[in-house]
Amino acid sequence: MTTLRGIPASAGFAIGQAFMYYDIEFPPIPHYTVGPSDAPAQWRRMEEAVSASAAKVQSQIDHLSPDKDKVQFDMLTVHLLMLHDPDFLDQVKERLFGHGENIEWAVWSVAQTMVQRLMESGDAYLRERAVDIADMADTLVRRLLSIEEVSLADLSEEVIVVTNDLMPSQALAMNRDFVKGIVMAAGSYTSHTAILCRAFGIPAVVGLPEALKTIEKGEVLSIDGGSGEVVVNPGVEKKKAVRLAMKVYAREREALSALRDVKAVTQDGKEILLKANMQIAQEIGAVFDYGADGVGLFRSEFLFLTPGEPMAEDRQAAIYTDVIKAAHGKSVVIRTSDVGGDKVLPNLFPREEKNPLLGCRAVRFSFAMPELFKAQLRAILRASAHGDIRVMFPMISGVDEMNKALGYLEECKAELRSKGIAFNDHMKAGSMIEIPSAALTADILAKKCDFFSIGTNDLMQYTLAIDRGNERVSYLADPRHPAFLRLIKMTVTAGHEANIPVSICGETGGDPALVPLLVGLGVDELSMAAAQIPLVKKAIREVRFCDCEALAEELLCR
C-alpha cells in the first residue's frame, strides 16, 4: 500500500481499478520533399489510411441508431462522405505528385485551406462542414503517422482514470457512467478539467506527477478528492475506512439539503445571492435542487467542445431557450464563448500559439471570427425572448473591447429586428473582470456594463503570473494576496458607484473558507459549482457582515 498526495480538485471518494490513459500528443507534422519515384508509395499509404478510416467510421455508424443518436449518426455519415470526396483527394494528389510534398503535409495543408475558406464564409452550414473536414484530416494524419487513438468515450467498465493531463474536450467526451474518479499528473484546482470534474460530481485529485510513475494498469486505488489522497493497493482496513467516509460524506450532503430554501443572509442581515456555474446545458436540472438563485455563469464554450454539438445558430438558440425555460423564472448569465487557453476547439484553433493563455482567447477569438460570434449573440438574443437571459463577455481588457462587443450585439439586434424575430431589447450585458487592466479601469468600464462578474481564476493567474493549469506553480496561488484582494475591492467599489451588481464566479466564490473575506469585500453575488451552494450558504449564515468587513480591511493592508 502506497499513499500519494496531490491537489484536491473535486470532493468525494472512490475505490476502483486504475485505467491508464496516455493521450498521444499530436506531434509537429513532418514536411519534406518527395521525389517522383517515392510518390506512388506515399499515395498507396494514403489509400490504405482512407480505407482503414472509412472502415472504422462505418463500424461506428453500424452501432448507432439513426433516430436515437441522430446528431452523431449525421456527423459520422458526413465524415464518411468526406473521406471519399474527389475534390479533396485530387487536391492532395496534386500536392504530392505535382509539388513533391509528403503525404501527411499534403493532407494537412489541403484541409487547412478548406477549413479556413469555410470558416470565413457567412454560412452556418458551411462552417459546420469546416469542423468535419478538420476532424477528418486529424484522423487521416494520425493514421498516416501511426498514432494510435484510445478513447475515454469507449469505456465500458467502472474505472479510476489515471492520466498525465486531460483536455476539457476529452473530459467532456469520456463515458461518465464508468469514470468513478480521476487522478491527473498535471492541473490545479482552477484548471478547467478540475472544474468539469466538480460539475460532474467525479472525485478528482490533480497535480500529482508521481501517479504515473507509481500506479500500474489495473491496480486498485482509493481516492479522496477532498483531501488529495490517493492510496495505491489499499489494504482491507483502508478500504473499510474509505467506504465509511463515503457514507458519512453522503449523509453530510443530505443534511445540507435542509438549507435549500433558506436565504444566504449573514447574522446581521446582509443577503448575498448564490448562483450556479454551469458547463453543459444538462446541468440546469440539478442546479435548482441545490437552491441556486439563478445561473451566474454558463460557460458556453463547452457546448462547442462537446463532440457532435454543432455551432449552428438555430441549435444554440434551442439550447439556450431550453435552459432559460428550465430556470424557474430566475436569471441565467450566458458567457459568450471563451475558447483558447486550455479550451482548444479541436482542430479549428491555431496549434502554433506559443503562449495560449496570453493569446487568441475568449473575446479575442470571437472578434477574429465575427460570424461565429454573431451567430452566438443572435442565438442568445433569440432565447432572451423566453426569460431573464443576460449576456457576459469574457477576457475584456478595457472599455474599448467592451464597446466592440456591444457593437456586435447592436448589429445582431438590428438583424433580428429587420427579420421580425423576437428578443428582449433590454437584455442585460456585463463584463467579466478577469484581467488586471479591467479591474484597474473598472470605473470607466462600469459605465458600459449592466453588471460585473469577477473571474477570480484568471484574475489570480494574470495578477500573480501563475499558469492556472501548471501544478508546479500552483502553490503560489494565494486568494489572500493583497494585490488580488485590492483588484476585487476596486471592482466592487467601481461597480457600486455605477449602481451595478458585482459577482464573483471564479472558484474562490465557492470556497466556504473564503466566504467571510469575499463578503467583507462587498460582493453582491457568488456563483459556483452548484454542489457548493449549500456549503457556502451555511458559511454565510454563520458570520456577521461587520466582522467580514473588518477582516477584509485587515487583509487588504496585510
Active-site residues, by number, are 192, 505
On whether the CB atoms of residues 342 and 195 are closer than 8 A, the answer is no
Choose the stretch contacting Mg ion; rule: CB under 5 A; options: 90-98, 147-155, 453-461, 478-486: 453-461
Task: Please tell me the distance from the alpha carbon of residue 302 to that of residue 78, in angstroms, as a whole number.
Answer: 23
Q: Which residues have CB under 8 Å from 132's CB, separation 6+?
A: 75, 78, 79, 82
Q: Tell the smallest beta-carbon distance from residue 187 to Mg ion (Å).
A: 16
Count, residues near ligand PEP per rule CB under 6 A: 10
Q: CB of residue 397 vs Mg ion: minimum separation in angstroms?
A: 13
Binding of ligand PEP by 525 (CB under 6 A)? no
Q: What CA–CA distance (Å, rounded) separates 462 from 46?
A: 45
Q: Which of 392, 505, 530, 539 binds ligand PEP (CB under 6 A)?
A: 505
In whole angstroms, give the CA distance from residue 229 to residue 238: 12
456 binds ligand PEP (CB under 6 A): yes
Residue 430 found at the interface with Mg ion (CB under 5 A):
no
Indicate the residue among 380 and 432 with the shorter CB distance to Mg ion: 432
How many residues bind to Mg ion according to rule CB under 5 A? 3
Q: How far apart are CA 417 and CA 425, in angstroms?
A: 10
Q: How many residues does the chain have?
A: 558
Q: For cell 473558507, what's the residue?
A: 513
Q: Which is nearer to ligand PEP, 135 or 511 (CB)?
A: 511
Please give the residues from 286 up to 325 whose contact with ligand PEP meets the rule CB under 6 A: 297, 299
Q: Which amino acid is at 358?
A: L
d(CA 400, CA 423): 26
Q: How far is the CB of 534 from ligand PEP (least distance, A)?
A: 20
As measured in angstroms, the least distance from the Cβ of 311 to ligand PEP is 18
Through-space distance between the first and last CA atoms of the chain, rounded to whole angstroms: 43
Smallest distance from ligand PEP to CB 456, Å = 5
**127 or 489: CB nearest ligand PEP:** 489
For the CB of residue 504, give the shortest distance to ligand PEP in the complex, in Å: 8
Whether 201 contacts 226, CB under 8 Å: no
- Residue 142 pairs in a beta bridge with none
Q: Does 338 bind ligand PEP (CB under 6 A)?
A: yes
Asked whether position 506 contacts ligand PEP by CB under 6 A, the answer is yes
Return the number of the residue (225 or 341) whose C-beta is nearest ligand PEP: 341
Using the rule CB under 6 A, give the single segment among 97-105, 314-322, 450-458, 488-496 that binds ligand PEP.
Answer: 450-458
| Interface pick for Mg ion out of 132, 165, 458, 507 (rule CB under 5 A) | 458
Count of beta carbons in the 10 Å neighbourhood of residue 47: 10
436 binds ligand PEP (CB under 6 A): no
| Grid cell in block for residue 125 | 452550414
Cα 346 to its chain centre, rounded Å, is 13
Q: Are 328 and 366 in contact (CB under 8 A)?
A: no
Which residues would be at the binding site for ligand PEP (CB under 6 A)?
297, 299, 338, 434, 455-458, 505-506
